[in-house]
């Protein structure tokens, strides 16, 4: 599938709803970014986009970025230092692997939604909502592109 067709196949509303649901269970922040153009190193691109999108500015350093590079058929997941120190070794890679399997089956939205849910479960485990405390949404839930 061509990159443009991939992007058109995404159900932004469903992905944003998954982000909102995941963030309602934790104090963490999740963003999805779709790269426009080739991505040589998905992890390096995700780390660069993580900084560029201001994701290091969360109060607890618990933001997570899911990057998808449709033209290069790649994806990556990176977490800030607050969440990264709590995740088991290989956790981010296992999320990427599962997303890749969904993408291979042309289940693009489903793959991203499942990744958001897994990341949300991990954030809820380590950064659960505190009773009586309102959580501020520190980052936009909309899919970014660029």
Number of C-beta neighbours around residue 31 at 10 A: 22
Give CA–CA dist 94/74, Å, rounded.
14
Helix (H) or strand (E) holding 132: none
Residue 22's pLDDT is what?
A: 96
Predicted local distance difference test score (pLDDT) of residue 83: 96
Ordered domains of the chain (ranges, CATH): 3-145 (3.10.310.50)
Q: What is the pLDDT of residue 1?
A: 57
The answer to whether 45 touches 76, Cβ cutoff 8 Å, is: yes
Predicted local distance difference test score (pLDDT) of residue 9: 81
Collapsing DSSP to helix, strand or coil, 104 comes out as: helix
DSSP percent split of the chain into helix, strand, coil, nearest 5 = 50, 15, 35
Instruction: Please tell me the predicted confidence (pLDDT) of residue 109.
Output: 95
- Strands (DSSP E) along the chain, which ranges? 29-34, 63-69, 74-79, 144-145
User: What count of other Cβ atoms lies within 10 Å of the Cβ of residue 2?
Assistant: 9
Low-confidence ranges of the chain (pLDDT < 50): none
């Amino acid at each position: 599938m061509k990159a443009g067709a991939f992007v058109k196949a995404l159900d932004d509303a469903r992905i944003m709803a998954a982000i909102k649901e995941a963030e309602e269970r934790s104090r963490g922040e999740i963003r999805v970014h779709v790269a426009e153009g080739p991505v040589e190193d998905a992890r390096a691109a995700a780390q660069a986009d993580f900084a560029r999108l201001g994701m290091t500015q969360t109060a607890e350093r618990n933001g997570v970025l899911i990057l998808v590079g449709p033209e290069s058929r790649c994806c990556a997941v990176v977490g800030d230092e607050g969440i990264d120190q709590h995740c088991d070794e290989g956790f981010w890679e296992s999320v990427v692997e599962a997303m890749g399997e969904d993408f291979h089956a042309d289940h693009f939205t489903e793959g991203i939604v499942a990744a958001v849910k897994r990341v949300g479960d991990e954030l809820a485990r380590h950064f659960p909502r505190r009773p009586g405390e309102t959580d501020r949404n520190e980052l936009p839930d909309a899919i970014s592109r660029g």
